[in-house]
Structure 1
Amino acid sequence: MKLSEIAMSTAKVDVDRLKSIFKSRYGTVPLVVKSPGRINVIGEHTDYNGGFVMPAAIDKAVYVAVSKREDNEIHLYAEDFKQSHEASLAELNISEKGWPNYILGVVDQIIKRNKAIGGFNLYIDGDVPPGAGLSSSAAVECATAFALDQVFNLGFPKMELTDIAQKAEHVFAGVSCGIMDQFASVFGKKDHAIMLDCRSMEYEYVPLNLSGYQFLLLNTKVKHSLADSAYNDRRAQCEQAVAWIKEAHPEVSTLRDVDMEMLEIYVKHRDVDVYEKCSYVVKENVRLIQAAGYLKDGNLKALGKLMFDTHDGLSKSYEVSCDELDYLVDAVRAEKSVLGARMMGGGFGGCTLNIVETEHISELVKKLSEDYDQKFGLKLEAYLVETAAGTGIVL
């Protein structure tokens, strides 16, 4: 297996072809906007606890081509689904097809902000692997919001575009996501990760120089049904711990305000399981601050160790991993070419994120693919990703 063959299972989008298809379908020349997917270097399940995250935009993106119409109709076409959808600005309804909701939700949010827009044509394509946990839905929302802002001269600042995209997912797609995905998609910067404070929304660009190493994503190709219920359970447990601590410390509002001593005193004797779950979150916030320091110093080896520690916390304390994810992380622990690995995302499936020495990636993927197939009877997918700029116009 050659390096060039790895995960380029997602072919790059040909922008000239996209424009040509759009013109033949709608008869006009479009504005084309590109919005990237994202990885999260470290800081998992900390966002809804008022903590820190460290996402980076990647070189896999969603592309939307948009042009104005002379009426108040919305005409959409999704290349991935080979489906069209039509709606009216006068009557926006949630679609059973699913995919139009990420676009219509953005329109709904723009209207709620009392901005005047007209009808439009929109064609969507992309090379973000669906179901891999790289936030393709956020990329769709951000690309749509940015494109409509440009086409109709709405004048939204970047932070409001991020909010529009997040609220679109809440209301029309029905997913109560945090802000990280949309923020990374809009604010991404090449060769940098973003240290984002999910409470204050203050952020800092952290240099991400992998020199001789690359990010390798290994897709388990599974998504276990536990994911949604476990997510709700974890949120409830975190909120319970905060409520107990608040009895003695009224100033505490989220786990961001909590340290291990507080958990020992106010939570552990009441519920050991809640204590265990919350100890992961508290420790993960500390790890993220350490990780930012290591990246500034160019210490990838120390960052890699933190990634392994994060995975162990997610697997053993927070209990959101699964056999497939654990297997892939354990399989690379002893590999000298791998500095760090962890599950990424909500859990119970999706990808592991690995930092691997470039010259050994091909042999590692080949070995892991064979072993994974033998163990689980599943085809492992691998993606090489690089950091990229955030949402913008494709010239």
Structure 2
Amino acid sequence: MPTSTYQLDIKIINMDLNALKSTFEKLYQKPAEAIFFSPGRVNLIGEHTDYNGGYVFPCALSYGTYLLVRKNTENVIRFASENMERKETVALDNISQPLSGDAWMNYPLGVMDQFSKKGIAVKEGLDLFYSGNIPNGAGLSSSASIELVTAVMLNDLFGGNLPMMEMVKLSQNAENQFVGVNCGIMDQFAVGMGKKDHALALKCDTLEWNAVPLKLDGYKIVISNTNKRRGLADSKYNERRAECEQALKELNKEGKFKTLSDIDFDTFNQIFERLSSEVLLRRVRHVITENQRVLDAMKALKNDNIREFGQLMNASHVSLRDDYEVTGPELDALAEEAWKADGVIGSRMTGAGFGGCTVSIVKENKTDDFIKQVGQGYEKRTGLKPLFYIADVGDGARRLM
């Protein structure tokens, strides 16, 4: 445990299942019948490439979302969460209707709607209690975690017999169509398919993937939270998607390319003058170079070259800062302070940007010094106090009890 004032946020790491069972019983006057878990995720490299059909390299985390459930005989779904104040009771006949406002229940409702479209009906009422130890607003994919834990629960209780990849796609559809967030598939894939001590190399347009061992002997993954509210993330995300779609349209005169990731760098150098603006050129350049960085990062890990992997992480952040312009002063400050710290192999923003987190690979015996030095430097530059989490790489969504 660090002795500095910048400490690990221990409360998010430890989860007391007995306490969750007790809370469920107080809420519903009966014990839970089953407990499910779904992790958060962090993307080690490959940012804003997923919706461009490119490569990503995420891993599942050891913390995530817990779901306690009991069937009821009242033909209603009751939603409660330890992390959100709003509770709802929804009749079985109405589970295909989104709730008004910014309702967190729309994520699980969207999954229920997708199961129904697959012919897997939610035939009985459910009492549900969600509790997550993913840091709120940190960009570690709490929404996908909620979706997949719901999907695994429905699949288990109602005999869906769906393979995990089908539940991954179904959960993405729920977020796209029911919640209205036009996300790529990376988050749901990492959360569902996660494998302990492995990162997942995924090509997002074909869904070809393989698990790559994360050999981090003597090193730790440290997630640093800016504590900056991600107010611009959604609007800028949609803006970047639109820019990429426009760039593809302008480059694709012969109709050869389905996505920007179909364009290699040599081809790009021959056709970039078709682009109508410098901004679009920089957006495409990020996507093409980031795809190559992911491929190089996979190779570096396979060759036990952790230092090269770290250098590629640093280059990824620079590209996201300069070409894709999604970092912002807080993320830049965290990454730059990390680059100065002794024992840091690499550091970059992770997630949509404009707040959220960086991910760093740090020598295990230097993590306390890292937390102190980066925390102090970041607070001095931004006036914000960061939080730090040591990330263990865990398995994907599953039933616990």
2:80 counterpart letter in structure 1: Y
2:273 to 268, 273, 276: 268
1:245, 1:262 within 8 Å by CA — same for their partners in 2? Answer: no
The counterpart of 2:189, out of the listed 161, 183, 186, is 183
Amino acid at match of 2:17: V
Give 1:203's aligned amino acid: W
Contact 1:37–1:128, Cα closer than 8 Å, also in 2: yes
Q: Please give the alpha-carbon distance, in whole angstroms, between the structure 1 residues aligned to 2:13 and 2:258.
A: 45
Q: Residues 7 and 371 of structure 2 are in contact (CA less than 8 Å); yes or no, is this contact kept in structure 1?
A: no
Q: Are 2:368 and 1:323 equivalent residues in the alignment?
A: no
Residues 97 and 327 of structure 1: CA distance in aligned 2, closer, same or farther (over 3 Å): closer
Q: Look up the SS of the partner of 1:276 in the other structure.
A: helix
1:88 is aligned to: 91
Partner of 1:48: 51
| 1:204 corresponds to 2:232 | no
Q: CA, structure 1 residues 349+268, in 2 after alignment: closer, same or farther (shift >3 Å)?
A: farther
TM-score by length of 2: 0.94
Q: Report whether the alignment pairs 1:109 with 2:111.
A: no
Moved more, 380-389 or 257-266: 257-266
Q: Taking structure 1 as reference, are residues 97 and 232 closer, same or farther at Cα in structure 2, changes over 3 Å only?
A: closer
Partner of 2:227: helix, strand, or coil?
Answer: strand
Measured in 1, the distance between the counterparts of 2:337 and 2:25 equals 49
1:171 Cα deviation from its structure 2 partner = 2.8
Q: Does structure 1 conserve the Cα–Cα contact (< 8 Å) formed by 2:230 and 2:356? A: no
**What residue in structure 1 maps to residue 104 of structure 2?**
99
Give the Cα–Cα distance (whole angstroms) in 2 for the partners of residues 388 and 330 of structure 1.
28
2:290 pairs with 1:284: yes
Equivalent residue number for residue 147 of structure 2: 141
Aligned length: 394
Q: Do 1:268 and 1:274's aligned partners in 2 also have CA atoms closer than 8 Å? A: no
Q: Contact (CA 8 Å) 1:22, 1:30: kept in 2 or not?
A: no
CA distance in 2 between partners of 1:325 and 1:376 (Å): 10
**Where does residue 338 of structure 1 map in the other structure?**
344
Cα distance change of structure 1 residues 83 and 13 upon mapping to structure 2, 3 Å threshold:
farther
- The verdict on how the C-alpha distance between 1:204 and 1:70 changes in structure 2, with shifts beyond 3 A counting, is same
Cα drift, residue 224 of structure 1: 5.0
Percent of residue pairs bearing the same amino acid type: 38
Match of 2:69 among 59, 66, 69: 66
Is the contact made by 2:337 and 2:378 (CA closer than 8 Å) also made in structure 1?
Answer: no
State the 1:328 CA deviation.
Answer: 1.4
Question: 1:12 deviation in Å?
Answer: 1.8
1:369 aligns with 2:375: yes
Question: What is the correspondence of 1:157-306 to structure 2 with a 5 Å cutoff?
Answer: 157-248=163-254, 250-268=255-273, 270=275, 271-306=277-312
CA distance in 2, matches of 1:285, 1:23: 48
Separation (CA, whole Å) in 1 of partners of 2:72 and 2:27: 13
**After the TM superposition, which parts of structure 1 deviate over 4 Å for at least 4 consecutive aligned residues?**
none
| Aligned residue number for residue 358 of structure 1 | 364
Q: Secondary structure at the match of 2:299?
A: helix
How big is the shift at 1:154?
1.6
Task: Call closer, same or farther: CA 1:229–1:125 in 2, change over 3 Å.
Answer: closer
More moved, 70-79 vs 339-348: 70-79
In 2, Cα distance between equivalents of 1:29 and 1:223: 34
Amino acid at match of 2:9: A
* Unmatched 5+ stretches in structure 1: none
Change (3 A) 1:102 1:336: same
- CA deviations over 1:252-303 (Å, ceiling 9, x no partner): 1111110223323322364222112101100111111111111112211010
Partners of 1:274 and 1:163 in 2: how far apart? Answer: 30
Where structure 2 has 5 or more consecutive residues not aligned to the other structure, the ranges are none
Deviations 1:147-205 (A, max 9, x none): 11111112111111112211221233221111111111110000000001101111100
Provide the residue aligned with 2:393 in structure 1.
Answer: 387
Change (3 A) 1:339 1:85: same
**Cα RMSD between the aligned structures?**
1.8
